[in-house]
Amino acid sequence: MNTSATHSEIVKTADGIPLKVSLAKAQRKSRIRGILLVLPLFAFILLTFFIPIFDMLFRSVENHLVPEVMENTSKLLVNWDDRSGELPSEEVFAAAKMDFEKGHAERTILRVGRRLNYETPGFASLFRKTARRAKNFEPPYQDAFIERDKRWGEIDTWRLIKRESGAFTISYYLAAMDLAYAPDGSVGMRSETQRIYLKLFWRTLVLSAFITFLCLFLAYPIAHLLSTLPIRTSNLLMIMVLLPFWTSLLVRTTAWIALLQQEGVINDLLVGMGLLSDDGRLAMIHNATGTVVAMTHILLPFMVLPLYSIMKTIPPSYMRAAKNLGATPAVAFIRVYFPNTVSGIGAGCILVFIISIGYYITPALVGGTDGTLISNFIAYHMSISLNWGLAAALGVILLVVVLVLYYLYDRIVGIDKMKFA
C-alpha cells in the first residue's frame, strides 16, 4: 500500500482510519470469525476420528514389543553378522537368558513368542518351552539353549529375532500382500497354500465390480423412467427407491436371509410350483451369490439417485430433435442421450464401488466362506486372531484404495456436490 505518497487523497472512515485499512481489518475479523466457527467441529473430528486413523497407520508398522522385552539380546544382535554362517556369540546367549528370565517373571516373553509366531509358526511353543526353564540355565548358555530345543542352534531362528528387533517392521504389510521373508532374509511370495490376501483383495475387487455393474444395469432403466414420467407418478415410484434406502441395512439383510435360505421363501415357492425337488433346494445364501444379491439390493438406491438427478437435467427436446433429424431411437440414444448421462454413471459407479469394497455386515451374515470380503478378514484379525498389526496393515491398504477412488470421485463430481434424496 502506498499510504505515504497520496496521503491527502485517501478516503477515511468517520473515525479517521483509512478506508482500506479499516476494510482489511474488518475482513480479517470476519475471516477469523469463520475459522472460529469451523474450529470446534474440526477439533472434534481430529480427536475422535483422525487420531484413531493415524494410530492405526502407526500400529501397522510399529514393533515395540520385541526390542522392549528382548532388550539386551536385540542390542547385541545388531553386531552379529547373520551372513557369517555362525551362531551368535556366547555373550548373546547370556543376554537372551537374562531376557527370558525377566520376561518370564513379567509375563511378557510369551507375547514376543506369539508375535514371532506370525512370522514363523512354532515360535510360540519354542518361547513357552524355553521360558519355563531359562532360570535354571547354567553357562555355557549356548549349549543350555540348544539342549532345551535344537532350534536355538539354527541360524534362521536368530536371523528372525535380529530382523524383528527394530522399532518398526514391514512384516505386517508383507503378510498382507502374501509375501514373506525366506530363511535367508530375501523377500518372496509365500507358498501356494499360504496365499490368502491377494486372492481376497482380488475377490473383493471382482465382486465389487460385478455388484457395481449389476446396479448400473438395473438402475439405468428405472432412473430413466423416473425422470421421464409425470412428476406425480414418478414421486410415487420414487418411494419404492427411497423406502429401501431408508430401511436399516440389517432389516434388508434379514429379509434376504428369509428369502434365500434353504428353507426360505424362494426355495419353498420353487418346490411348491414343482420346479425343484425337495432335496434339490438351491443354495443361494452363505456363498458369493448371497453376497451379490443382498449387496446389489442394498446399494441400488446409491446408483439410482445420482443417475436420476443427471437424467432430470436432460431436456426431452434433445431426443425429439435427434429423431427429427433422422436418427433411429437406438442411434439417438447412443449419440445423444447416453453421452449426457456419463457423468451420472461415473458418480454412481464410483460411489457404489467405494461402498462395496469396504462392506462388512452383509458379507459377514450372508457371505459364508466364498462370499466374504477383505473387511471380514480385518474384523477377524481384530477380534478373533488378535493380530492387530495385520488388521491395521490390511485396513491401511484398503484405505489407500478408497482414497484414490474418492479422489477420482472428487474430480468427476466434486465432494461438495454430494447430496441426499
Partner 1 sequence: MALPPYTSPGERIWFYAYRIFCGLVFFFLIAPVIVVIPLSFNAVPFFTFTEEMLRFDPAGYSLRWYNDFFTNPNWQGAVKNSVIIAFFSTIIATFLGTVAALGLSRSDMPFKSTIMGLLISPMIVPLIISAAGMYFFYSQIGLQGTFLGVILAHTALGTPFVVITVTATLSGFDQVLVRSAASLGANPTTTFFRIIVPLILPGVISGALFAFITSFDEVVVVLFVGSYEQRTIPWQMFSGIREQISPTILAVATLLVCVSIALLTALELLRRRSERLRGMTPQ
18 forms bridges with which residues in the sheet? 12
Give residues 296-325 in contact with partner 1 (rule: CB under 8 A).
297, 300-301
Contact predicate 176/390, CB 8 Å: yes
Task: For residue 180, give the H/E element and its range.
Answer: strand 179-181
Pick from 362, 361, 218, 369: nearest CA to 283: 369
Instruction: Please tell me whether residue 280 binds partner 1 under the rule CB under 8 A.
Output: no
Quick one: which segment of 15-23, 44-52, 186-194, 319-327 binds partner 1 (CB under 8 A)?
A: 44-52
Distance CA 130, CA 112 (A): 12
Which residues from 56-115 bind partner 1, rule CB under 8 A?
56, 59
* Residue 188 DSSP one-character state: E
**Shortest distance in whole angstroms from residue 227 CB to partner 1:** 12
Beta bridge partners of residue 62, listed in sequence order = 168
Q: Which of residues 216-235 bind partner 1 (CB under 8 A)?
A: 218-219, 221-222, 225, 229-231, 235
CB 310 within 8 A of CB 344: yes
In this complex, which beta carbon is closest to partner 1, that of residue 189 or of residue 421? 421
Nearer to partner 1 among residue 125 and residue 262 (C-beta): 262
- As to burial, measured by CB atoms within 10 angstroms (0-12 exposed, 13-18 middle, 19+ buried), residue 350 is buried
**Rounded-to-integer distance, Cα 124 and Cα 185, Å:** 20
Nearer to partner 1, 1 or 231 (CB): 231
Give the total residue count for the chain: 421
Q: Does 273 bind partner 1 (CB under 8 A)?
A: no
Interface with partner 1 includes 213 (CB under 8 A)?
A: no
Is residue 357 a contact residue for partner 1 (CB under 8 A)? yes
- Assess 386 for contact with partner 1 (CB under 8 A): no
Can you tell me which of 65, 110, 379, 408 binds partner 1, judged by CB under 8 A? Answer: 379
Question: Is residue 246 within the footprint of partner 1 (CB under 8 A)?
Answer: yes
Question: In angstroms, what is the C-alpha Rg of the chain?
Answer: 32
Distance of closest approach, residue 223 Cβ to partner 1, in angstroms: 10
| DSSP letters spanning 210-249 | HHHHHHHHHHHHHHHHHHHS-HHHHHHHHHHHHHHHHS-H
Query: 187 forms bridges with which residues in the sheet?
Result: 181
Q: Is 365 in the site for partner 1 (CB under 8 A)?
A: yes
Is residue 271 a contact residue for partner 1 (CB under 8 A)?
A: no
| Least spacing, CB of residue 59 vs partner 1, in Å | 6
CB of 395 to partner 1, least distance (A): 5
Stretch of 2-10, 67-75, 180-188, 252-260 lying at the interface with partner 1 (CB under 8 A): 252-260
What's the closest the beta carbon of residue 111 comes to partner 1, in angstroms? Answer: 16
